[in-house]
Amino acid sequence: MASPAGVQAALAGSAPARTAISLFSLSGHVALVTGGHRSIGLEMVLVLAEAGAVVYCLDLSSEPDGDLLKNTGRLEYIRGNVTDQKAMWARIGICMANAGILQGAKCLEYPAEEFNKVLNVNICGMLYTAQAAGRQLERLRIPGSIVLTASMNGSVANHNQNWVAYNRSKSAVLQMARSLACELAPKGIRVNNVSPGYIFTNLFQDFLDERSGPEVELSAQNPMGRFGRPDELRGVMLWRASDASTFRTGSE
């Protein structure tokens, strides 16, 4: 009796078996990271380059970060805006859509202009980036990986954080990735989210500086009793980008 189509496809993709190290290699791949100038985005750029990819870093800053300048062999910095849909068409095989902004205000006083600005960058910018990557992969007829940076704030609302626009945007990113994953899976394109918690970045330091002593309370919410470091996300970022996660799509 003939095997079901799903079984046949799985068996066809199982040989030859690859070594664990080779599954994580990005040699020969080209990657784009938006919002890669610093913090979490910078860690994405560095780990992809270390794994062998040629990485293009897109951000608004006129000059790249010093750590980027140290790795110019496999990295190229591009100044650009993710809300400019036409500017996002590029040669992309792996895409890390990380660009985003956070602007807080009390929910009953949130200015419409500022609210829409957050949504434009965090939602529309994510979509335009994913569109660019998906169209390029479809044109080249190659499988690929798109990773959207969401946040734990897309799933939970924390007290004493007046982030209604940011939380709204990150919840949209979660569902966007699921929808894109379903549409693009037949083309061999995977789309996943990562939802960092309290990661000690420059932006998070600014948040702490605006308040009196929240470090103890916030760090206690994590079982490890501390904040995470940007470099501690390297493993999951590489896993998402590489062939080690070829059966992972539509997930956090």
CATH superfamily entry for domain 26-199+232-245: NAD(P)-binding Rossmann-like Domain (3.40.50.720)
Which of 21-30, 80-89, 131-140, 226-235 is least confident? 80-89
Query: What is the CA 154 to chain-centroid distance, rounded?
Result: 14
Contact 97, 126 (CB under 8 A): yes
Burial class for 41, CB neighbours closer than 10 Å (0-12, 13-18, 19+): buried
Residue range 10-41, pLDDT digits in tens: 666 666 778 999 999 999 899 999 988 878 99
Place of tokens 């036409």: 86
Q: By the 8 A CB rule, do 120 and 166 touch? A: no
Contact 193, 150 (CB under 8 A): yes
Give the pLDDT of residue 231: 93
pLDDT at res. 87? 53
pLDDT grade for 171, boundaries at 50, 70 and 90: very high
Confirm whether 56 is a catalytic residue.
no
Q: Are 138 and 187 in contact (CB under 8 A)?
A: yes
Could you read off the pLDDT of 104-153 as tens digits, one per residue? Answer: 899 999 999 999 999 999 999 999 999 999 999 999 898 999 999 999 99
- To which residue do tokens 């189509």 refer? 5
- Sign (positive or negative) of CA dihedral 209, 213, 216, 221: negative
Residue 1: pLDDT band with limits 50, 70, 90 = very low
Rounded percentage of the chain residues whose pLDDT exceeds 90: 55
What CA–CA distance (Å, rounded) separates 91 from 129? Answer: 12
How far is residue 42's CA from residue 121's CA, in Å, rounded to a whole number? 18
One-letter amino acid at 229 equals R
Catalytic residue among 39, 77, 128, 151: 151
**Mean pLDDT score across all residues of the chain:** 86
Helices (H), 164-224: 164-184, 202-209, 215-220
Question: Looking at 170, 171, 198, 245, which residue is catalytic?
Answer: 170
How confident is residue 228, by pLDDT bands cut at 50, 70 and 90? very high
Q: Is 106 a catalytic residue?
A: no
Q: How confident is the model at residue 6 (pLDDT cuts 50, 70, 90)?
A: confident
pLDDT for the residue 2: 47
Q: Does 236 score more than 90 pLDDT?
A: yes
pLDDT (mean) for 219-242: 92
Nearby residues of 242 by Cβ (< 8 Å), 6 or more positions away? 23, 24, 25, 26, 51, 145
Per-residue pLDDT tens for 41-62? 999 999 999 999 989 888 877 6
Top mean-pLDDT range of 83-92, 174-183, 225-234: 174-183
Give the pLDDT mean for 165-169. 95
Provide the residue ranges of all domains of the chain, joining segments of one domain with +.
Answer: 26-199+232-245
**What does the alpha-carbon distance between residue 180 and residue 178 come to, in Å, rounded to a whole number?**
6
**Which is higher by pLDDT, 66 or 215?**
215
Is 151 an annotated catalytic residue? yes
What pLDDT is stored for residue 161 in this prediction?
A: 85
pLDDT of residue 68: 59
**CB-CB contact of 176 with 127 (8 Å):** yes
Query: Strands of 144-149's sheet, edge to edge?
Result: 75-79, 54-59, 30-34, 94-97, 144-149, 189-194
Catalytic entry in 56, 77, 128, 166: 166
